[in-house]
Amino acid sequence: MSTMFPAIVNQILVKGEFVVLLYFLFVNGWYLILLVSSLLELRRHMLLITDESRHLLLSSTLSPTISILAPAFNEEATIETSLRALLALQYPSLEVIVISDGSKDRTVQTLIEKFDLVPVKTIYEQRIRTKPVRGLYRSSTYSGLVVVDKENGGKADALNVGLSFARGELVCAMDADTLIEADGLQRMVRPFLYATDVVATGGTIRVVNGSEVKLGRVFRTAVPTNMLAGVQVVEYLRAFLFGRLGWNRLGGNIIISGAFGLFQREAVVNAGGYLHDTVGEDMELVLRLKRLSYENGGPGRIAFVPDPVAWTEVPETAKVLGRQRDRWHRGLADVLWRHRGMMFNPRYGITGLFVFPYYVFVELLSPMIEAVGLVSLTLGLVFGVVDWKFAALFYLTAYGLGTALTACTLILEDLSFHRYETFRDRALLFWWALVENLGYRQVTVYWRLRGLWKFLRGRKDWGTMERKGFRPVTAT
Amino acid sequence: MVSENLLNIVMLVEIGLLLLGVGFFFAHGLWLYVSNRRLLRLSKSARESVARLITSGYVNVEEIQALRLLPDNVQVIAFLEISRNLSGSQKERLGFVAQQVGVVDRARKLCESKRWTHRLRGTRILSRLDVPDPMVHKMLADPHPAVRAQAAEWAAAQPSVPVISAMLTLLADPATQARFAVQNALLRMGGVVAGPLSTFLENHSGRAAEAGLRVAESLAEPSFGPAALRHSRAEDVGVRVAAANLLGAVADAPAAERLMELLGDDESRVRAAAAHGLGRMQHWQAGSLLAERLRDSAWRVRRAAGLALRSIGAPGALFLRRALKGDDRFAADMAQQVLDLPEAAAG
């Protein structure tokens, strides 16, 4: 018995290795394609925007109207600064709709006092069913400001209410704590001006932790010294500059960050708005828009703008980060399950044949494969089937490629926008890129597996996101 | 078992890639730091030279020679930076100096390149300098939409008959990017395009007409009236909406009459545009018709009618108050909401 068990482990390991290697080949093949694609796309983009005159958009009466939908829940402390920053965005025809999602604090009262709000009769065209609206306010000072006070129903419900009140041709969905660059909307609107088949655009979201913030704008960029935040800077760079940009060129974008995205209002309303019963409502909407464009015709291109257009605060504690990643993975599983009919379905073009399978095999199942690899390697070591040298080599081979890929992403950032300029920032970025594989990545595998498990058990709770707050500008 | 040798090779390759990447990352950072400092220093002196050449009334050969010796990108940066703040005769002078230094010739060469990115760069430099160069005029027919769009930007400052004519042809451009740039440029040209645009609208229909009508609406010249009336009977809904908007901007008696007819259009977008137009021209005679539209089945029409009544002033407010007491709940609700709106939000 004592000799049989290691033999079984040995057999599993040999077969498992073959599967893991095939998986690595598949994944790395895709990564290579995405890397080349993002490099080409970024080069094209930089050539297009160098010395362009975006200010012409500002003075044009032809620019499409944008309605910003800003859901707020208990944001009393920050709502004034956030809203003033939104109202000061450099865009000619802008409407800002703040939706207080049943705030229990003084969010609405603060808005009434600070922005000269007056109540108006609550009548609106309800094209999407939502929780009841308690009050509607318009500003006597800011013509484009609308404040909606509604019963609590979650972010998706708040955005749906915002869609009912929006008058703009385009709607911008964002999180209450997202900081938008002053010219962010000018950059994001470009794809809509360049093509008629664009239904939504997303931009690069950067991590604000560590950077200095003043009046709702990022004043000085810096890489955070906190390990979790630092590693997430690297993760965000990789996700946006490498993943989404790469897919953009291949026409396979299906994700727009919930923190900041621009959509054709009519298309979103006609599609039924955001779904309430999913934790991945942003991805679900984008995939639904894409799916509907294949099924019914109409615009369906999801464009990605690589310019850094918005900043978000990321969790700095393992507990909160774990909840976030668990929720993200549950959301991914839920969305892919809802739209499973697209998988390998030629009716959905490149999305059905390549993008959807990529998200299933690479994004959704990767924690399982990674966990199998890690567990079998550990078992192999415990039972003496694998020697230390081989284990170390296998580990380095598996994760070394990830680090090399991250290094390529850092180069992409450096060749294009290079927002992290100092030697300290560069050294920190590189350090976090190395550290990411030494424990952090393995823990995220656990969080993502937990998310999958919860999905299988039907859990749909969000968990709470605790925020530390932005770092104010220090006197220099 | 996977061969250890294979793993060794793979790992070595990865380490090599990683080292190469890291080396490049830091080396590029260092290069950026050094080159930025150099660029700052050189472009500062270049800017000063260009500013002196523009403000002085004569051609300083030595200064031009000194500028010529600077790297090409420094020259371009200096000229483009200064071009943003100049107009009129000073801009002409800037173009002249750029010609003397060689920036214009190099941009022209870029325009002749086979690569669209080079042509875009060349066109961008010439358009930012507002150089009245026939080369850029040619770029209005470039195969790449980004280049055409850039040339259209240049055209905004060159309102000659052939340029306007070429621009109007581009209103039918299949590429949205170029079409938007052309519309924008025509708007910036101002009243000078009114005549040719009227003729264009008389002779075109469909997408081109819709694009032209949107430009005409912003220019709001009375001469667009007949064309707007004609297009308000078009089959295409988008064209009818654009025509209704233009009629509201033209704001003469025939326009008001036609807008009142359009309040009965089958398409809600057209009815809403007509109501908006009547409100825009503050046509109080349309009050009763607009009050009827408060009962429209489409939300957008009810809202546009309500806002139009409010724009009309006292007679409109009377209709809105009457609607409050009427038997139609939808009309009463809309009237109440419009009356509640603060002044800033009712425009």
The DSSP-derived string for A162-203 is: HHHH--SSEEEEE-TTPEEPTTHHHHHHHHHHH-SSEEEEEE
Is A179 in CB contact (< 8 Å) with chain B?
no
Q: How far is B149 from chain A (nearest CA, A)?
A: 10
Model pLDDT, residue A461: 67
Strands A145-150 and A133-139: antiparallel
| B3, closest residue in chain A (CA to CA) | A390
Is A11 in CB contact (< 8 Å) with chain B?
no
Model pLDDT, residue A260: 92
CB A230 within 8 A of CB A428: yes
| B339, closest residue in chain A (CA to CA) | A120
CB contact under 8 A, B180 and A193: yes
Model pLDDT, residue B245: 95
A278 phi, psi to nearest 5 deg: -140, 150
Is B17 in CB contact (< 8 Å) with chain A?
yes
pLDDT at A467 over 70: no
CB B24 within 8 A of CB B42: no
pLDDT at A293 over 90: yes
CB contact under 8 A, A410 and B28: no
Considering only CB atoms, which chain B residues are within 8 Å of A142? 344
Check residue B285 and report its DSSP letter. Answer: G
Is B72 in CB contact (< 8 Å) with chain A?
no
Residue A432 banded pLDDT, cuts 50, 70, 90: very high
**Of B10, B32, B336, which is closest to A418 when you measure between CB atoms?**
B32
Considering only CB atoms, which chain A residues are within 8 Å of B215? 62
CB contact under 8 A, A118 and B25: no
Model pLDDT, residue A417: 85
Choose the most confident range, by mean pLDDT, from A177-186, A342-351, A413-422. A342-351
Residue A476 banded pLDDT, cuts 50, 70, 90: very low
List pLDDT tens digits, range A365-389. 989 988 888 887 787 788 777 777 7
Q: Which residues numbered 18-37 in B keep a CB inside 8 Å of some CB on A?
A: 18, 21-22, 24-26, 28-29, 32-33
| A396, closest residue in chain B (CA to CA) | B11
The token duo for A163 is: 């869609």
| B126, closest residue in chain A (CA to CA) | A51
Of A330, A368, A339, A329, nearest to A455 by C-alpha is A330
Which ipTM value was assigned to this complex?
Answer: 0.82
Q: How far is B193 from chain A (nearest CA, A)?
A: 17
CB B206 within 8 A of CB B174: no
pLDDT at A191 over 60: yes
CB contact under 8 A, A400 and B18: yes
pLDDT at A186 over 70: yes
What residues does each domain of chain A span?
1-64+169-460
Is B15 in CB contact (< 8 Å) with chain A?
yes
The token duo for B185 is: 């440029």
With the C-alpha atoms ordered A195, A201, A204, A210, is the resulting torsion angle positive or negative?
A: positive
Beta-strand runs (E) in A255-315: 260-264, 301-312
Interchain CB contacts (distance < 8 Å): A and B: 135
Is A60 in CB contact (< 8 Å) with chain B?
yes
CB contact under 8 A, A141 and B344: yes
Is A384 in CB contact (< 8 Å) with chain B?
no
| A190, closest residue in chain B (CA to CA) | B177
| B300, closest residue in chain A (CA to CA) | A125
**Of B14, B128, B146, which is closest to A404 when you measure between CB atoms?**
B14
List own/partner pairs for A109-116 with CB under 8 A and 24 or more apart.
A110/A76, A110/A79, A110/A80, A111/A79, A111/A80, A111/A83, A111/A137, A111/A147, A112/A137, A112/A147, A114/A80, A115/A83, A115/A139, A115/A141, A115/A142, A115/A145, A115/A147, A116/A140, A116/A141, A116/A142, A116/B342
Q: Which residues are paired to B271 by β-bridges?
A: none
Domains and CATH numbers, chain B: 159-281 (1.25.10.10), 294-347 (no CATH)
| A13, closest residue in chain B (CA to CA) | B1
| A119, closest residue in chain B (CA to CA) | B340
Average pLDDT of the residues in A255-278 = 92
Average pLDDT of the residues in A201-209 = 92
pLDDT at A471 over 70: no
Model pLDDT, residue A178: 86
Query: Whole-number mean pLDDT of chain A?
Result: 87
**Of A14, A47, A414, which is closest to B117 when you measure between CB atoms?**
A47
Residue of A120, A241, A416 for testing the chain B interface, max B β-carbons within 10 Å:
A120
Burial of A435 (0-12, 13-18, 19+ CB in 10 A): middle
Is B180 in CB contact (< 8 Å) with chain A?
yes
**Of A51, A389, A407, which is closest to B25 when you measure between CB atoms?**
A407
Is B336 in CB contact (< 8 Å) with chain A?
yes
Is A414 in CB contact (< 8 Å) with chain B?
yes
Q: How far is B19 from chain A (nearest CA, A)?
A: 8
Model pLDDT, residue A475: 46
CB A166 within 8 A of CB A125: no
List pLDDT tens digits, range A55-70. 776 667 888 999 999 9
| A388, closest residue in chain B (CA to CA) | B4
**Of B8, B29, B145, which is closest to A393 when you measure between CB atoms?**
B8
Q: Which residues numbered 65-104 in A keep a CB inside 8 Å of some CB on B?
A: none
Is B69 in CB contact (< 8 Å) with chain A?
no
Is B113 in CB contact (< 8 Å) with chain A?
no
Residue A464 banded pLDDT, cuts 50, 70, 90: low
Model pLDDT, residue B2: 56
Considering only CB atoms, which chain B residues are within 8 Å of A61? 187, 218
List pLDDT tens digits, range B6-58. 777 877 887 888 888 888 888 988 998 899 899 989 988 899 899 888 888 77
pLDDT (tens, 9 = 90+) of chain B, 347 residues, equals 556 677 778 778 878 888 888 888 889 889 988 998 999 899 888 998 998 888 887 778 888 888 899 999 899 999 998 888 888 888 888 988 999 999 999 999 999 999 999 999 999 999 989 888 889 999 999 999 999 999 999 998 888 899 999 999 999 888 888 888 999 999 989 889 999 999 999 988 888 899 999 999 999 899 999 999 999 999 999 999 999 999 999 989 999 999 999 999 999 999 999 999 999 999 999 999 999 999 999 989 999 999 999 998 888 999 999 998 888 888 998 999 889 888 766 66
Q: What percent of chain A has pLDDT over 90?
A: 49
Model pLDDT, residue A470: 59
**Of A138, A389, A407, which is closest to B342 when you measure between CB atoms?**
A138
Of A139, A92, A93, nearest to A116 by C-alpha is A139
Is B74 in CB contact (< 8 Å) with chain A?
no
